[in-house]
Structure 1
């Protein structure tokens, strides 16, 4: 399993939940969660295969942004 961690500008739990729903459509076997209490508003995605550009495109289409954090 691969884990990718993103810094986001999501601050609202309802918006975060809608992103989780849409990301689950793209990555059905993934484990996806937000940590909105973290100062970086973290999004974690754990899955076998992931496309960072697809995730960034989804955020951009919704007027939000995310940035992949280095290990």
Structure 2
């Protein structure tokens, strides 16, 4: 399962912090950002994904995050 999210993350250093936090909740997932994209894409590939939890985690860290259709 792959989910794609639109975020407002700007820096590579922010990506590393967010990925580490997401991996705590979704171990064995493949997580990456595409900061070159205008939507600052967060892509998560995992067996099970909770969109609600991912959005909650990023919001708690101070970032916006929404599912990209």
Q: Per the shorter chain, which TM-score range? A: over 0.9
Task: Give runs of aligned pairs for residues 1-71 of structure 1, distance below 5 A.
Answer: 2-70=1-69
Number of residue pairs matched? 69
Q: TM-score, normalised by structure 2?
A: 0.96
Q: TM-score, normalised by structure 1?
A: 0.93
Extract structure 1 runs of 4+ deviating beyond 4 A.
none
Structure 2: runs of 5+ lacking an equivalent:
none
> CA RMSD, aligned part only?
0.6
